[in-house]
Structures are given as structure tokens and as C-alpha cells.
Amino acid sequence: MRNPILALGAFSLSLCFVLQTPMTINAQTDLADSDEFFQRTSRTGPERDHTQKIEDLLKRMTLEEKVGQMTQLTIEMIASGKDQNIKVDPAKLEKAVVKYGVGSILNVYDQALTLDRWQEIITQIQEAATKKNRLGIPVLYGIDSIHGANYILGATLFPQEIGMAATWNPELMKRASEIAAIETRAAGIPWSFSPVLDLGRNPLWSRFWETFGEDPYLAKVMGVAFVRGLEGSDVSSDQQVASSLKHYMGYSFPLTGRDRTPAWIPENYLREYFLPTFDAAVKAGARTIMINSGEINGVPGHVNRQILTDILRTELGFKGFVVSDWEDIKKLVTMWRIAPNEKEATRMAIMAGIDMSMVPLDYSFADHLIALVKEGSVPQSRIDEAVRRILRVKFELGLFEKPMPNAALKSKFATAESRQVSLQAAQESMTLLKNENNILPLAKTAKVLVTGPTSDSLISLNNGWTYVWQGSEESLYPKDRHTIRRAIEAKIGAGNVTFVQGTKITRRPGSTSNNTPTDIDEEVDIAAAVEAAKNVDVVVLALGEGSYCETPGNITDLTLGEPQLKLAQAIQATGKPVVLVLVEGRPRIINRIADGAKAILMAYNPSNEGGTAIADVLFGDVNPSGKLPFTYPRTPNGLINYDHKPFETENTSFGNMAFNPQFRFGDGLSYTTFTYSDLRLGKQTISANEELPVSVTVTNSGQRAGKEVVLLYVSDLVASISPPGKRLRRFAKISLNPGQSRMLNFTLRSDDLSFIGADNKRTVEPGEFDVRIAGLSQRFTLK
């Protein structure tokens, strides 16, 4: 049964068979059209009205109890020990949930735990909160389930968001987040700090891989999929969790590219590119939002009332609660220096719109806020407003009725079916960027050298937010998942595979002056790899990155490490064909070695099933269908997005160079070929309130079945704000057998022709527009 329509911009797609040939449709792919998905994934299900319960509870609460609900502490504040030896400390727990009435606890310290341990810990927390606390208000536990329930050992993990974006399959994204929700809730944890809805428009940024790429429309569709999978039609179900949209907003676009450094973003650009993902996810029912840890135009996100209240509450109509990021109220003093002390920082943040503070290592927030209210610096009404929002989410999650973990959910944890979904996601994310003379797929009888620093590493396949924050603890990774090396050995037999590492990526601890750990590229045995290459038919060279997250991932140069480039050039010098596999969270510069590679496969961070998925593609058991969700730069400073202004790359009178990235947004090859024809517009002239029908025919003109991502762009030829060359407005993913054709019918409306004007308002201007699909283009006029 379909869900009610979500009004996020009307547009429809229908599929008409042109050539009637037998086929089997994979519904999880063929129904993954962007607008069709929107129409089925609105917030659904009857919502219970908890207003009276909330008001009754508020009347009974003291100021201290209300402020307690606004306080979030990390798990180490209620526990002793760490890693696998962590255990709840009864005295610490009682101080937190009884004395201070803390409303939320989060995180691990520092390692992922088993499902049984989580259930034990959550049970102890909720027993204290519901039985020892005067009002029995349950704790809202939060965790970073970023690519699956990654802080629960044995959970099903999925490609990181950038890889999920490369699938262009929102149905698959929704299914992945449904599994993440079930497995997170199985631990007794009802709140996930995901999805990341920042745009990846600067690939230098260390959290680039946590985004859905550079385009706001793609990110909006995939973000809604993520939210709907987590929250479902009834978030009180013991198989759903509350989402937390992050990091609202503009966090991903620091001027330097380094994490948590200043961004300078004009408001019209902020609204055009960075707001739509959050707007769509709010309309899709997201319960909570986490705030940008940086600043925009000199104003830190945590005190930006225009963003936190005027836009989020008044314009978007957000009804949930807003949580700070880690220590970010304290950082208003220590880092951003806009407040003289923590007490004033607390006042500024609360009055700007923060409802809950991720303090998280002391009780200072509660002490300061209580004092601020008593002295009249923060009105009681603002406290009540924040606590209403927090209590509403707790009621909506069903925590008052079912605060304890459900032991029965163990049967739905890490199932074979869930693992298969993870494998499918990894397979569909694989993006073939080069395939000279159709060297791929490789024959399973080939003699293969596997080399490179990411070739035998589950850490690289996963990246950060995997078992520990930085994803760097090898002992926690499963022993029954294949690295690229092991997957190739399983595919063609170990006797056909030679392995020489060549180089390695080593995690170095921070120095006394800089406590940030860093990854270092080091040579291991390049000469041995070169010698081994002489005795094989083909070399699979796996390069890329180790694991990193947030500030520890900061770099100043996107160029791939010199030892890796040296290894690649040495292998290429042997004359043996090289298949380059890139396992990386952001596009590292490879211009010195790209031409010498016969094939290039972009794997992103495909997670624990990634090794198998890579081998499936390399040896032809899976036909690749991923498309780049970002522009892959050719040079360190060649950071131009696909939707750049035409004059940036075409005005040769000013000496501007042509747009020449290593690979373009939307690039991705297949083992078959697709031909586009008959792009038609239903009208040549429309008015602002009219729809524009668009149709195109796609044919599989190759020799094997395959999936194709169809991208529809619109170009505004003249506008009062200089227009981009083109903007993505729709996409679909379809399956075609050899010789089969389909006609796709789209409908565009005025919103698809609009932009944010100089007055920071959305506007539609008359003029000429081009519709572009593949190499086809048609023009129409808007009156």
C-alpha cells in the first residue's frame, strides 16, 4: 500500500515499454525514481496527541528537573572502565539520572559493544531513571549509527553515505536505514545521530565521505530515504529510531576545507544549496536536529538565532528538538571566543534555539542554566519550550511505555537477509570510471597480482564511525568478511593470486603539541611487487586512504600519498595491465597514474561486504551501475562543481581554462551500453503554473543486462542571478535487458525552474530553458 504524497515538489515518472522483451524487474532498483520515491515516503501513520501528558508532566517538574532534561552526558559520566571493560557505576548513574535528572546519555567509551552488553547497560540506565527518579522520566540514549549500527559488534554495516549516493537508489538507502534502525533499537537505543545532510562541495573536507555528494537534489532524495527508513510510519515501534539531521547547516563548506573552521556563505547561496536537504527531511518527519559545529560569516552555528529559530522554526516549521554537538557550548568560549565565560555562552545558545546541550563531560551546563533562570537572564518560558520538545520525542518514541530493550529483537539482528542488502548496496555503489579496450571484466582463469595499501584492509573498506570513532581498531573487525585480496582469492582460487602489499598506511599517534593521530603512507616492498608483476596476467592495484573522521582527517593536499604513486608508476612501468581500485572517502588526485591504468574502479568506502562486491565487479558476476555523486578533480586546486557558472570555464578571453576534471559528476560505465533517443517536450512554451511533460527513450544497445541511472538536468539560460550551467532536477534508475528499450515520462513544474534571488527568496523568472538528458537537449520558453 502506498503512503500519502509528500509535497516536496511535484514531478512524476512513468515507464512505457517500447520493446516487449521478457525480463525480470528488480523492484528495489526500478522503483527508485526520485519523485516516485517522494510520493511514497511521506511521514505516515496516525500521530497520537501527547500534549495533555506533556503539560501535566511539565506542571509537576521543578526547574532543576526541567534543566536536567535539557542535559546530555556521555556514557563515561555514568560508568567505570572503558572499551570492553566498561560497566555502569551505580553511584555515578544515580548522580546523573536521580540527582540531576539527566534527560539523555550518548556514545561509547571508546569501543563498540556486543548486543548483550548494550541491553545490559541500557536496562540499568532505564531502571534508575524510571524507578529511582521522582517522575520516572526515561533517558533518551543516542548513538552515531552512521552506516548501520556501527557501535554494536556484529551489526550489519553498509557503504558510507557517499557510496550510498553512488547507487542512486533511494529505495536501497531506505532499506539500509530500516535495518540500521532495527539493529540499533535491538540494543535498547532509540535515537541515531544520522543522517548527515551536509553537502560535499569541497572534497578536501575530512567528512566528505559522510555526505551524499555535491548536488542538493540527490542529497535531498537520499536524505529523505534515510530518515524514513530510520523513523518509519510509527517511530514508537520497537523497530524504529528517531533521526537527527546534521549538521544544520553549512558545516561542510569551510573556506579552508579543514573541519570546524570558518565558512563564508552568502545567504542566497546557503538557501539554494545547503538548506534544501534539511527542509525536505523536516517535512519527512525528522524528530531532532544537530547543529553545525563551525561558524558561518563569523557567527557560530550554536548562537545563530536566524538559522536556529527564524529559518528552522518559523520557515521550515520544525517541531522536534535541537541538540548541540560535542562540547560546542563550551567552545563558544574556548574556541570561537564570542562569550567571556561558559555561563554567558549557555545563555546565548539557549536563547538562540538550542534545546539540549551535549555537554557532555560535566554538569556545568545544568548548573549555569539553573542560575540563569533564577536571575531572570533566561525566561522560564524558554525552558518549558525546550522541555516540551524533548518530552514530545520521548513520548513519540514510546519510551514511557517501553523504556527497556526488547530481547526478542535479537532474532532480527545481523540476519542473512540484512547482509545481502549490504552486499547489494556495495555492488550498486561500484563506479567504473575507465575500462580501456574492455579489459574488465577479468577472466576467472587469469593470474592476478593484488597489491596496494587498501588491498588487504577492512579498515579502508569502512573508514571512520566503525567500531570506534576513527574506525582504526583492527581487532574489532569481523574475521569472516573478505578484504579485496581475500575476495579475489575466493573468486578465482588462491593459486591464481599473488599478494604483495607494496605500501602501507600507518596510523601515527599525535605528538605532545598536537594530539591528533594521522595516517602516514609508507613504502613496504615496492621492488617485490614489481618483480611479482612479471609473472601474472594483470595487476589489481588497490590504493586510497586509511580511516579518519572529523579533525584527524584534515589534510592540505588532495594528492594521493607519494609512496602509493611511486608503487603505481613502478607497476605500470612493467607493461602489465593495471586495474586501479580506489578505496577512499574523498577523491585523491591521481593524474600522474590515471592514464597508465587500463581500468579504474571507484569503490568509496563500501564497508564489510565491499571486498566481495569489488571482486564481483572485477570478474563480471555483477555489472557495475554506480555513478559519481561528485566531481573528481584532476588537480589539487581544480575544485569546481558540476553546476559551475559557464563563464568560470568557458570565457577564454580572460584566460580561464576549460572544465577538465579527472571524472565528471554522473560518470560511471557499464559492461553494456545504453543509447538515448527521442527526447521530447510536451510543450514549447509554458506559463508559470503549467506543467512541462518530458519524455526520453533509453535502450540497452549492448550484449548483457544492466542498470542505468538516467539524469535529467535543466539549464536556465538567463537569470537575474548568474545561472549555473545546469542543475540536476530528476533521476531514475532502471534495469534493461539487451535490446530492450523504455520510454521514461517526466513532468517538470515551476519549482524546478526556480532559484534563490538576491532578496533571499525563491523566484521564477520568464525566459528560455534547456532540458538535457545524456547528450540530448531540447529548449522551451517560460512566459
Q: Phi-psi category of 9—alpha, beta or left, where left has phi over 0 and alpha has psi -120 to 50?
A: left
Contact 530, 571 (CB under 8 A): yes
CA atoms within 13 A on the CB side of 53: 16
What cell numbers appear for 291 in the block?
Answer: 547543529
What cell numbers appear for 466 in the block?
Answer: 566503525
* Residue 18: Cβ-neighbour burial (10 angstroms; 0-12, 13-18, 19+): middle
Contact 450, 485 (CB under 8 A): yes
Rounded to the nearest 5 degrees, what angle is found at the Cα of 281, between the Cα atoms of 277 and 282? 115
CA end-to-end span of the chain = 39
What cell numbers appear for 704 in the block?
Answer: 548483457
Catalytic residue positions? 325
Rounded CA-CA distance 417/179 in Å is 10
Look up residue 418 and give its DSSP letter. Answer: H
Rounded CA-CA distance 634/660 in Å is 7
What cell numbers appear for 718 in the block?
Answer: 538567463
On the question of a cis peptide bond just before residue 262, with omega within 30 degrees of 0, the verdict is: no
What cell numbers appear for 666 in the block?
Answer: 554522473
How many residues would you count in the chain? Answer: 783
DSSP string, 300-324: EGGG-HIIIIIIIIIIT---SEEE-
* Residue 255: Cβ-neighbour burial (10 angstroms; 0-12, 13-18, 19+): exposed
Look up residue 2 and give its DSSP letter. Answer: P
Give the DSSP H or E segment for 756: strand 755-756
Instruction: Give the distance from CA 241 to its chain's centroid.
Output: 17
Q: Where are the beta strands (DSSP E) in 548-682?
A: 578-583, 599-602, 674-681
On the question of a cis peptide bond just before residue 195, with omega within 30 degrees of 0, the verdict is: yes
What cell numbers appear for 475 in the block?
Answer: 581487532
Rounded CA-CA distance 286/195 in Å is 10
Rounded CA-CA distance 554/556 in Å is 7
Query: Residues with Cβ < 8 Å from 538, sequence gap 6 or more?
Result: 439, 442, 446, 447, 448, 449, 576, 577, 578, 579
Helix (H, G, I), strand (E, B) or coil at 450: strand
Residue whose C-alpha is closest to residue 169's, from 229, 208, 225: 225
